[in-house]
Amino acid sequence: MQTLSLSQLKSMSFDLRPEPVLRPFGGSFVVADPSLLLPEESPDGKWHLFFHTTFGVHAAVSDDGVTFTKGEKLLSRAMRPNINRIDGRYVLFFERTRPLVFNALNLVGAAKWNSEIFAIESRDLKTWSVPKPVLRHTRSFEESVRGVSLSNPYLLRVGPVNRLYYSCGLTFIRDCGFCEPTYVNYAESEALLSGYRAASAPILAPDRDDPFLNLCAGCLKVYRLSDCFIGVQNGIFEKDGKSASAILLLSSGDGLRFRYEKTLVAPRFDGSWMGQFVYASHLVRCGDVLRLYFNARNTANPLFGRECIGFAEAKIES
């Protein structure tokens, strides 16, 4: 990614693969928040997809990044994973939640949400360490009347510093019947799994005048290009009385202050698998192609809504 420039990326057109690569299974209504390892990053030379369902974080495997196994469950009480290969080991950050019964009670207003950022480690993607707390609740804006939420972790190493972007706060989305993250913030530490100090104010917040960000900030993934940082963000917005989400390309000189550049993937508003929302994503480079994996939701309706994982692809022109 670091050999690409912003102008190159802005000139690319992402072509959507029509069908998802993974659909809900095992009684879950969602498969969501993809995070991937490429074959050259994996011990077995395969694609590894980490994602969550209603019941926890799972891992699936593929030879081509298109046809995946349904995957094995790695963690309960876990959502929104972020996989990293660092110094010969694999580190998986994730949102650690309360047990499933408390999450269900939260949906009906009978209990408050409570989640923070944890991590596990592995040398081979088979045997994992015990979950360890990485980022605890310390800022007032991480809490709302519906509880405490630290979610969507994403690690970026900036020189000697580990910068952990994360979503926080809870905004109730009326037509969905559940909450989405209100803000995006970051925390930094020179140690990988401890000592993180959260910034004192969010770097992305809802803006009633922003057509893509008028409800809440959603989540953000940050990458370094040859001439700047980019953010790939999905804010949650209201349009014609309905909520929706699109995946946006942002640019930044320092990885902290961002401006809008273009929309990468938009919902179709047609009742299809990505009819109303396109959500959290992971941008990867495989040879001369960029793939933007993301999860999408067909409808806000809490009874009929289903979330799938798919991707869009762009050719890198020299």
Q: Please count the other Cβ atoms lying within 10 Å of the Cβ belonging to residue 88.
A: 6
Q: How does residue 92 score in pLDDT terms, banded at 50, 70 and 90?
A: very high
Query: How far is C-alpha 101 from the geometric centre of its chain's CA atoms?
Result: 24
Q: Which amino acid appears at position 207 of this protein?
A: D
Q: Are 278 and 264 a contacting pair, CB within 8 Å?
A: no
State the pairing for strand pair 113-122/147-158.
Answer: parallel
- The pLDDT of residue 71 is 85
Q: Name, in order, each residue with C-beta under 8 angstroms of 40's C-beta and a sequence gap of 6 or more.
A: none
Q: And the tokens for 307?
A: 């979330």
Cross-strand bridge partners of residue 313: 15, 291
pTM of the model: 0.95
For residue 199, the one-letter residue type is A
Does the pLDDT of residue 1 top 80, yes or no?
A: no
Q: What angle do CA 14, 250, 255 make, to 5 degrees?
A: 130
Pick from 86, 158, 72, 147: nearest CA to 119: 86
Please, how many CA atoms are within 13 Å of residue 192, restricted to the half-sphere of its CB? 13
Interior angle at CA 210, CA 233 and CA 167, nearest 5: 35
CB 232 within 8 A of CB 218: no
Closest CA to 135 of 170, 163, 99, 102: 163
The helix/strand/coil state of 242 is: strand
Task: Enumerate residues 6+ apart whose C-beta is below 8 A from 107.
Answer: 177, 178
CATH of 6-315, one of 2.115.10.20, 3.40.50.10300, 1.50.10.10, 1.10.3720.10: 2.115.10.20
Q: Each residue of 200-211: pLDDT tens digit? A: 999 999 999 999
Q: Decide: 221 and 154 in contact? Cβ < 8 Å.
A: yes
Confidence of residue 103 (pLDDT cuts 50, 70, 90): low
Cβ pair 248, 233 in contact under 8 A: yes
Higher pLDDT, 282 or 113: 282
The pairing of strands 78-86 and 72-75 is: unpaired
**What pLDDT is stored for residue 52 in this prediction?**
97
pLDDT digits (tens, 9 = 90+) for 150-183: 999 999 999 999 999 999 999 999 999 999 999 9
Q: pLDDT at residue 242 above 70? A: yes
Residue indicated by tokens 């917040």: 205
Q: What is the DSSP string of 9-63?
A: HHH--PEEPSS-SB---TT-SB-EEEEEE-GGGSTTSSEEEEEEETTEEEEEEES
Residues 6+ apart with CB under 8 A from 257: 203
